[in-house]
Every structure is written in structure tokens, then in C-alpha cells.
Amino acid sequence: MKKILTLLIVLLVFSVSLSGYGEDLDIATLFKSKGINGTTVISSMDGTKTYIHNDELANQRVLPASTFKIPNTLIALEEGAVADGKEIIKWDGQDKGMPVWNKDQSIETAFPVSCVWFYQELAKRVGKDKYEFYLKKMKYGNEQTGQDVTTFWLKGDLKISPVEQVAFLKKIYAREYSFKPSSYELLRKIMIIEQTPAFTIRAKTGWAATPRVGWIVGYVESGDRVWFFATNLEIEKTEDLHHRQDVTMEALKLKGII
């Protein structure tokens, strides 16, 4: 009996070490109460505290969708696809699917509303070879572009996991990549989704069509504390897109971060 008990303990420790982190019960209860299938990763800047719900999904790579606009903005500026955040690219007059997209755009206007056509035009100007260079340089997900330079992050070959998203954002925050300081500053500005006297949240959402996965990734600055997060959920309908931000903000509150 003693040998069997010892074996069970060894197996338990081994299984926990494989996943890296145990299931966070607070966040698991939150997901269950909302009937949502997905994952959330929340991690302190130094990595000493990390909370994960659904470790399997947290390590599963999927399309980044519009969360790729974070590195895409830095790449486009570095390559001179536009001069700065204010340079306008003219709308061609064709309906782009959303009223807020149907106008001339700059990075400052296109990023917050996730304007697809604007970033597709930037992608044409940057080119496939440059993207391959930067994806490898940043070790971004599986580093794959596929053949279509205008769709590889939306329905192409590029994949990244929530755990990798958090690791990537930490490097962006620390400015470990050799992008211009002015580009980093612009990115910090356009990523703000909420600002209070107590904290600032910078984030980007995304929604991939196949499979239908909704993202929100970003970080919270509160005093001298910085916490990073990545959430992706199974989302079939546009009416459910609000769950991305709602469940993430509630998880951050549960952990006393905001």
C-alpha cells in the first residue's frame, strides 16, 4: 500500500511539472459560471506569479488574428510602410464590412478599431521576406507566414499560443527588440483601453474565423507592478465577442490586480 501511495504521489508531481502550473480554481469557476470554453494566462513581469485556467488550451497555438497588429505596427513603422502614426492611407471607397473602417485611416485610427484593410495595405508594403525575418527575430509563435502576405495572421499559417503571447508581450514591454523608441511609444499610446488613477490597461483584441477563436492580450500597469495576460475563447457569434474583455477583467479583479 505504501509503495502504491508513493507511486501516486510521484505521478501527480510529474503531471504538474509537465503543465508547469496547476489549474487556477478561481478563474476556472468564473469560466464555468459563464458557460465559456477557453483559457486565460495571467503572469507577473518577473514570472514569479502565474495564474492559468485550462493549461492545455494555454499552450495550444492558434491564429493570432488582430492581436498580430501589435508586432505588425512595430514592423510597419520600422520598414517605413508609413512614416508615423498619423500618415493617412486613403480609403478606396469600397465597403469594408464595418462603418468605422469606411474612411481614410492612419495607424492611430486603424489600430483601435482593428481596421483590416489598412493593415493589409501595410503588409503589402512590408512584403513577405521582411515578415519572415521579423517573425524569426522575435520568435513569434511558429514563425510561419504562408503564401498570402495580406492574410497570414487572419486565416493563414501563423499560429501562437496564449503562453507565447504573454512571453512576447513581456519582451515588447521591456523593449528587447531593436525597434525605434518612437514606435514603442506610439504602440503604448494606441494600446490603451482603460486608464484610471489606480491602473492603466493596454490591450488588443482579435477574432479568428477558422477556428472561431476570440482573443484579448495585453498588460496592466498599477504603480510599480506590471501584469500580463492572454485570453482566448471559443466564440461563434459576434454578439459574444464582449466575453473576451469581460471575463479577462473579472479574472484580473479576482486576482487583486485591478
User: In this prediction, what percent of the chain has a pLDDT beyond 70?
Assistant: 92
Comparing CA positions, the residue from 137, 129, 144 lying closest to residue 168 is: 137
Residue 9 covered by a domain: no
- CATH code at position 66: 3.40.710.10
pLDDT of 97 reads 93
Across all residues in the chain, what is the average pLDDT? 92
- Cβ contact 168:155 at 8 Å: no
Name, in order, each residue with C-beta under 8 angstroms of 94's C-beta and a sequence gap of 6 or more: none
Angle between helices 116-126 and 128-138 (to 10 degrees): 100
Is 15 one of the catalytic residues?
A: no
Residue 7 covered by a domain: no
pLDDT of 18 reads 37
**What is the rounded average pLDDT of the residues 119-147?**
97
pLDDT of 21 reads 59
Residue 14 covered by a domain: no
**What is the rounded average pLDDT of the residues 15-19?**
39
- Name the active-site residue from 15, 43, 66, 183: 66
pLDDT > 90? residue 9: no
Residue 239 covered by a domain: yes
pTM exceeding the 0.85 threshold for the entire prediction: yes
Residue 16 covered by a domain: no
Residue 2 covered by a domain: no
Task: Give φ, ψ of 231 to 5 degrees.
Answer: -125, 135
Comparing CA positions, the residue from 100, 80, 77, 105 lying closest to residue 90 is: 105
Confidence category of residue 8, pLDDT binned at 50, 70, 90: very low
pLDDT > 70? residue 152: yes
Residue found by looking up cell 508531481 in the block: 13
Residue 249 covered by a domain: yes
Give the number of domains in the chain. 1
Domain that holds residue 225: 23-254
